[in-house]
Amino acid sequence: MDTQRMLGRFWVLAALCVIVCCWPACDDGNGPTDPEPTEADWLIYYSYDADSFNYYMPIYSTSELQAIDTIPLPPPTYHDLRFTTDGRYIVFDVATTALEIFVLDHSTGDTVGSVVTNRGGSLRISPNDEYVMSVGVNGLAVYSIPSLALVYTNATQISDGVFLPSSDRIVYSVDASDSLYAVDYINLPDSVATTPILMGPGIPSTFRPKYLAPDYHNALLYTVGVDAIGSPGLWVFDITDFSTVQAIPLPDDLQYGRPEMSASGGLGFLKGIGDTDDDNVILRYDPSARSLTRFLEGSNVVWPWFRPRSMALTPDNGLLAIVVSISGADSGALVLVDTEDGHIVTVFDHTFGQGRYARVYPVPR
């Protein structure tokens, strides 16, 4: 396959250095400051499309604060990309005439697995790195890594899904449903192995979970959802028995996305989108204090826009990578923010195109 050969060629890091532009500093402290390299060097894979025919994935170094490689992608761009926690494999999907998932060896760039699927689109990697889940409105499917042999499939309209710490069970939310569902897909693959989860006190009977984010380190599950009248909230569950740990009401004038929780525990972020860019906000969650605070607000950022589309934390919790984008002809950017004080470390700008997502390679360079 020509696509596979081209992908294998470009996934191997080359010794290229691409000059990156930064936006001018703002006068209120929320603009990019003079770049200061971080102690650990993390690689951030950033997907964006320049136009309908040109797609790129620059790879940025948080130490050098510039692109060390730029990968041209075959159209259309990737729907999602994930790394196994040990950094050995890259798992991504491409939506052409059908949705196809690939597994690449990170060190060689060789394609070691591929499969065509009609389930999902967003990818999740199991804690033991042995499985990948593709989840979306057309259902979900679980495949083994690296062969991508099918393990489990479900045609239900899915909002989101995650693996449990044992890696042999998954939990997912269903569109317009007032429950979460658990599946033992390893031990009961051929049965109707779907069980509604009875959630504990503090959860309204009409609660409709949508976005899920696990914290394996602290055995917690973060869920963003709404009640029957549409009032949003962030609910925290004990991932072992799904008892309620905390329920936090959210401002009802914003639309919320999937929480971004750190792999090591201890930090989380949630984006809220309002009617205007000034209303947009990123909230910071501190699990130790169980507090949710306003971290970065559009009204305090003197940019042409502040519309967060995707977020990713570096494994040391030091930096938050934010993809900002807007509809229309204006370009997007990848913003690196210090997670402690919220100052913008730098902005990786591109002249044209819309940013899609950012993913951090889990092993420092």
pLDDT tens per residue, range 297-310: 877 765 556 778 88
101-191: which CATH number, 3.40.50, 3.90.550, 1.10.3910, 2.40.10?
Answer: 2.40.10
Two structure tokens written together for 275: 């009617």
Q: What are the C-alpha distances in Å from 237 to residues 195, 247, 333?
A: 17, 9, 34
pTM (2 decimals)? 0.84
Two structure tokens written together for 189: 């693959």
What is the model's pLDDT at position 157? 81
Q: Please, what's the largest Cα pairwise distance for the chain?
A: 61
Alpha helices in 33-147 (DSSP H): none
Secondary structure (3-state) at 341? coil
Secondary structure (3-state) at 355? strand
Residues of the chain with pLDDT under 70: 1-38, 50-53, 74-78, 96-97, 176, 188-206, 228, 301-305, 326-331, 351-353
What is the model's pLDDT at position 331? 63
Q: Please state the domain extents for the chain.
A: 1-85+296-341+350-365, 101-191
Burial of 181 (C-beta count, 10 Å sphere; 0-12/13-18/19+): buried
The residues pairing with 80 across neighbouring beta strands, listed in sequence order, are 93
What is the model's pLDDT at position 83? 96
Buried b (16+ CB within 10 A) or exposed e, 52-90: eeebbbbbbbbbebbbbbbbebeeebbbbbbbbbeebbb
